[in-house]
Every structure is written in structure tokens, then in C-alpha cells.
């Protein structure tokens, strides 16, 4: 459920997961009117819907529409996965951060524990991943954003978890950002607007992981910038597949072979780009 949804690769991913795990599943795009999320969700449940993913701009509405929330949803105030039980009650979860962590640690084989991280952006995308990043116990996470007070608010919201996990968590101004980091995560919409890279190249170390949560052409400027400065660029396609795998496991209790599906999806996208 989203607006827009035409671009979404999720039906392809979940259909492939279902094939590979012998699950019977129908997963379709659902374009939701901008002002009509709650009513549309009820219509979906009345029609027999068992679960859904929720994307921009409804992740906050999805969290609010649920009867119960996972701790991750409570922290991020955003949900991307809804599970509908037999009585029509709605449980909300957020698998975005788990997907990011799985892609970095399992697929890219980069450890988060003990590392210095900068998270750029403080919108819904950044909010959804900060909790799971903290749970990996990096040494430090700096949150920076064009609008500084949003970064501050996000840090305040996560201060207790950071303390619990013994992680140094702070907000810094994007412009004057100093120091360099092991992992740089771009959770902004800057490249969609052709606005360039929101932080100075001095944040990169040779061999740093520079991760853009977008994929396809939207991630290209960030990946190019990373390569120019000796960092290892990675797009968000793996995060997309891994968050889908977490959602699939919540709905079905079965873990799909996400690395295989990620490779297949990369091949499909490469073929499309050549066509």
C-alpha cells in the first residue's frame, strides 16, 4: 500500500519468495488515495487481506492504525509491515532497519558492532533504521540532517536505547560535519531532487562503506561520489530484499532465501537497464 506504488518491486520479490518456499501467496500493488489510508486498509481487511507492506507516505498512518505495535514501531513511530489476524486485528512491525542491518552485515559482510556511523537524513527512512542500527552496538552514531532540529528530535527519541546499548549517539549540523566514519548511510531524498551529496567527502575513509538506501538511478550519484573518494559504495537493493524477507517471515513463519532472490533481482534490473 502506497502512493505511488507503480514502481514497486515488492510483488516480484514476494512472488519469488513464495515460489521458492512453496507458499501460496498473492501479493499486489495497492495505490491508496492520499487522504484515505485507514479506510482503504479496512476495505482490504474486509476483502480478506491477511497482511501488507506499507510504503511512502503512509508508514506513520500504518503505525497508528494498528491495534498492537512491535517495540521497533513504537520507537520509529512508523510501520512498513502489517499482519492481520483471524479476528481482523492489526499488528504493526517495521522491518526496514532489520533489512538494512542484514544487508550490511550478512550480504556486504561489514560489521556494524564497534564502528563509527553517520546517518544522513532524519525523515521516515532514517527513523525506521536507527533503532536496529543501535542494537548492533556500533561505537558511535552521528545523525545529521539539513534541518538540524529534526536530527536532534530523532536522537532524543532514541537516547534511552542508545544508553542501554552503550552507543554514543549525537546530532550534528550537516554543513559543518567533521570527522570520518566507517559506515556512511544516506537516508535522504536529496538525490531524487538532483541536489547533490548532502555531506562533505571528508566523512569518507578509504574503504569506508557508503550506503545509499535507494537503488537504481536514484542511488547513482551517491555511489559515484563514494567511488571517487575510495569508499565502497552499496545501493539499497539488498535492504529492499532483506526487509521483504523479514516481512515474509512475519506473515508465513518461513524464511525465504533472500540472497538468491537479491542476485536474481540484480540480474533482472541489469537486463532492464540494457534493454
List Cα–Cα distances, 254 to 74, 100, 110, 213, 268, in angstroms.
25, 20, 26, 25, 24
Is 163 a known active-site residue? no
238 belongs to the binding site for ligand ATR (CB under 6 A): no
3-class DSSP state of 143: strand
193 belongs to the binding site for ligand ATR (CB under 6 A): yes
Stretch that binds ligand ATR, among 47-55, 141-149, 217-225, 237-245 (CB under 6 A): 141-149
CA 151 to chain centre: 17
First to last CA, the chain: 29
266 belongs to the binding site for ligand ATR (CB under 6 A): no
Stretch that binds ligand ATR, among 120-128, 161-169, 232-240, 242-250 (CB under 6 A): 120-128
Closer CB to ligand ATR, 25 or 60, in the complex: 60
147 belongs to the binding site for ligand ATR (CB under 6 A): yes
Please give the angle made by the CA atoms of 150, 153 and 155, to the nearest 5 degrees.
110
E-assigned strand segments in 105-203: 116-120, 140-145, 168-173, 181-186
Give the x-and-dash track for 67-106 against ligand ATR (CB under 6 A). ----------------------------------------
188 belongs to the binding site for ligand ATR (CB under 6 A): yes
| Contact present, 110 and 238 (Cβ < 8 Å) | no
198 belongs to the binding site for ligand ATR (CB under 6 A): yes
| Alpha carbons 8 and 20: distance in angstroms, whole number | 20
| Contact present, 158 and 151 (Cβ < 8 Å) | no
Which residue in the set 51, 97, 99, 124 belongs to the binding site for ligand ATR (CB under 6 A)?
A: 124
Question: Where in the sequence numbering do the catalytic residues fall?
Answer: 59
The contact set with ligand ATR (CB under 6 A) reads 56, 121-126, 145-147, 150, 188-190, 193, 195, 198
Amino acid at each position: 500500500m502506497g502512493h505511488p506504488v507503480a514502481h514497486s518491486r515488492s510483488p516480484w520479490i514476494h512472488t519469488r519468495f513464495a515460489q521458492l518456499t512453496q507458499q501460496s501467496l498473492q501479493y499486489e500493488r495497492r495505490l491508496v488515495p492520499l487522504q484515505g489510508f485507514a479506510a482503504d486498509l479496512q476495505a482490504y481487511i474486509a476483502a480478506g487481506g491477511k497482511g501488507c507492506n506499507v510504503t511512502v507516505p503512509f508508514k506513520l498512518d500504518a503505525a497508528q492504525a494498528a491495534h498492537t505495535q512491535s517495540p521497533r514501531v513504537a520507537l520509529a513511530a512508523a510501520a512498513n509491515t502489517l499482519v492481520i489476524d483471524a479476528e481482523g486485528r492489526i499488528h504493526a512491525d517495521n522491518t526496514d532497519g532489520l533489512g538494512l542491518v542484514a544487508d550490511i552485515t550478512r550480504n556486504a559482510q561489514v560489521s556494524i558492532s564497534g564502528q563509527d556511523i553517520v546517518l544522513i537524513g532524519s525523515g521516515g527512512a532514517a527513523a525506521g533504521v536507527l533503532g536496529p542500527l543501535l542494537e548492533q552496538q556500533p561505537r558511535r552514531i552521528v545523525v545529521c540532517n539539513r534541518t538540524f532540529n529534526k536530527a536532534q528530535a530523532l536522537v532524543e527519541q532514541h537516547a534511552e536505547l542508545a544508553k542501554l546499548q552503550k552507543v554514543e549517539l549525537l546530532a550534528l549540523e550537516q554543513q559543518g560535519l567533521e570527522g570520518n566514519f566507517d559506515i556512511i548511510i544516506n537516508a535522504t531524498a536529496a538525490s531524487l531532487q538532483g541536489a547533490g551529496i548532502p555531506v562533505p567527502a571528508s566523512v569518507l575513509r578509504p574503504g569506508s562503506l557508503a550506503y545509499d538506501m535507494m537503488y537504481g538511478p536514484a542511488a547513482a550519484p551517491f555511489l559515484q561520489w563514494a567511488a571517487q573518494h575510495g569508499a565502497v559504495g552499496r545501493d539499497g537493493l539488498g535492504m529492499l530484499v532483506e526487509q521483504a524477507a523479514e516481512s515474509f517471515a512475519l506473515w508465513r513463519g518461513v524464511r525465504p532465501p533472500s540472497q538468491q532472490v537479491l542476485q536474481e533481482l540484480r540480474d533482472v534490473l541489469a537486463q532492464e537497464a540494457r534493454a
